[in-house]
Structure formats: C-alpha cells, structure tokens
Amino acid sequence: MKNRFIAVSQRVAQTIPVVVGVVVISFLLTRALPGDPAVFFAGVAADEASIEQVRVALGLDKSLPQQFLIYVGDLLRGDLGQSLSSGQPVLSDLASRLPASLELTLFALVISCLIAIPLGVLAATRPGSWVDHVCRVLVTAGVSLPTFFTGVVLIYFFYYLTGWAPAPLGRLDFLYIEPEHVTGFYLIDSLIANDMQTFAGTLKQLILPAATLSLFTLAPIARMTRSAMISALSSDYIRTARAAGLANGTILRTYALRNALLPVITTLGMVFSFSLGANVLVERVFAWPGIGSYAVDALIGSDYAAVQGFVLAMALLFVLVNLIIDLVYSLIDPRIGFTTNE
C-alpha cells in the first residue's frame, strides 16, 4: 500500500512540468492572438484615450515578463482572472460550464462503448461477415463525417421533419425547471431531487448531441477493439486454452477480452480528452452551454483570461484522465502495477 501511494505521488509529481509548460505556452499564445482586448472591451466608438485607460486597467501596458509574473501570482492564489466577455471570474464561468461539457462527453462515451466494444468483439470473431462490414462502415463514417454535419443532419431529420426530438436549444427546454445544483449534471441532480419529469426532459435534450458526438468517438474505439481482439485471439495462450478444452465463451471473456481491453482503455482515455476540446462544434450546433462554446467566444473577443483558464482546465483534465488510466491498468492487469524508483 505504501509503495502504491509513493508511485501515485511520483506520477502526480511528473505532471507538474507539463502543467508549467501549459501555463507558459498558453500565456504566450494568447498574447499572439490577433486583435486588442482593450479595443474590444472599450467599444468600437471609443477614442484612443479611453482605449489606453482600459489597457492600463487590464494591465496590458506592462511588459510580457511583468504580465506573466502577475498571472502566475494570481494562479497561485487560485485566481484565474476576470472574463471580459461575461464580466465574471473565469473560475466561476468554468465551474458553471464544465459540468455541461462533461455530461455531454461522458454520456456520448457511454453510448460509444456500449456499441463499439461489442461490435469490435463480434467483428474480430467473425472476420469478413456482415458484422465486420458494419463495423468498418461505422468506423469510416465516424472518421469521415464532420461532427457539425452529423449534428445538422440529425436536427433536420429528428426535429424538423419528424418532430421526435425537442428544439436544439441547450441543456433543458424552457418548460422545465433546472434541478437544484448538486453535481452540475442535470441527469444526476434531477434523480437526486426525484424529479423524473426534469430527468426525462434532460435526457431528450441530451440524446441528439450525444449521438452526434458518439458517432465521432465510436470509430477509434471500435477499430481498436477489433484490432486488439484479433491480435489476442491469434496469440499462443488462446491456442493453448482451446487445446485444453475450455469453452469458447470462457476464452473470449476471461482471456482474450481482458487482454484486449488494455489498448482499448488507452484509446478511450485519448478519445475522452480529445472530445472534450473537440465537441465545440457540437456545442455550437445544439446551443450547448459548455466550455467549448465559452472558449470560442473568448477567442473571438481576445479574452486572455478566459482562454488561459480554458487551456489550463483542459490540461489538468488530461493529466487526471491519464492518471486514472494508469490506475485502471493496474486493476485489469496486476502484472503492470506501479513501479517506484526505490
């Protein structure tokens, strides 16, 4: 137990240079953005004197090293700055919008896993069959179709033509009241409040954007599952298990699938991290109030603090996901475990 704690601490310590690098790079890149936030904040009708006053108030009149030291000092105090677009602290904006993006991404990943992993296993055990062809078609569609195009097609069919889906206008229709904030996830908060009407309304709003994102995330998961299962089924220990007379179902579940899950989990972690930042198009199409749309608005307005806060939040989430993947690895295959430098 002590070695496990030391190993986890070492992994956390290894992420510190990554976070520091993200802070430096995000600071420099935001200063390279076109446009002047002082002009944006002062307004198009402002004169040079007013713009200069705003620039001084925002601290943009100082040199880059001075601005960076001020920014790092604020970070150490837990202050991500003030957003020019919303007028609120960046930390408050991220805290209010992050659950929306996480709920959408996690729900889409659940749908992807429920479809992609069984489909990949069936495609690997039946190569050349219709299941294998369906898997290839879905993988090709997921890779080829842009998410905004898929979202528009789904809206056109399920909302405009059939009326089966609600209007794509955010997390909850205006007919429902937002559940009391506990986790920020409307599905969970509505269940905690025992409000099944709000739960159903949230689920209806979530289905189309989650389906759009899940088609995108399904492709790499299904492809990796199929590839890993084919590799596992052709290995020596599977042939030995078959020669020993073990049932085919036991071989698939206990030996092949368990070993094939390791690269699938790696892919799942990468897909989760990437989809959190890439679902900005989905959020735009469905008017989803997540951090992706927040980041786009910040980029358009040259909102330095908001952009830096978004990049830092994504970096921390990526580091956390990779740490969780390491922990899950050790649970699935104890032979991997954690190694220390002792």
Q: Is the pLDDT of residue 254 over 80?
A: no
DSSP type of residue 167: -
Q: Model's pTM, two decimal places?
A: 0.80
Report pLDDT for 188.
92
12-21, 92-101, 168-177: the lowest-pLDDT one: 12-21
In the predicted model, what is the mean pLDDT of the chain? Answer: 82
Class at the top of the CATH hierarchy for domain 95-300: mainly alpha
Element (H, E) at 320: helix 304-332
Q: How far is CA 242 from CA 231, 237, 259, in A?
A: 16, 9, 16
Sign of CA dihedral 98, 101, 102, 103: positive
What phi and psi values does residue 82 have, to the nearest 5 degrees? -110, 130
Helices 90-125/291-300 angle, 10° precision = 120
Report percent pLDDT > 90 for the chain: 11
Q: Can you read off the two tokens belonging to residue 66?
A: 């001075």
Tens of pLDDT along 281-302?
888 889 898 888 888 888 777 7
**What are the extents of the domains in the chain?**
2-76, 95-300
Q: CB atoms < 10 A from the CB of 132, how many?
A: 18
| 306 neighbors 93 (Cβ within 8 angstroms) | yes
Partners of residue 89 on adjacent β-strands: 82
Report percent pLDDT > 70 for the chain: 89
Most confidently predicted of 27-31, 100-104, 127-131, 259-263: 100-104
Tens of pLDDT along 12-65?
777 788 888 888 887 887 777 666 667 766 666 677 777 777 777 777 777 778
In the structure, what pLDDT confidence band is assigned to residue 114 with cuts at 50, 70 and 90?
A: very high
Report pLDDT for 340.
46
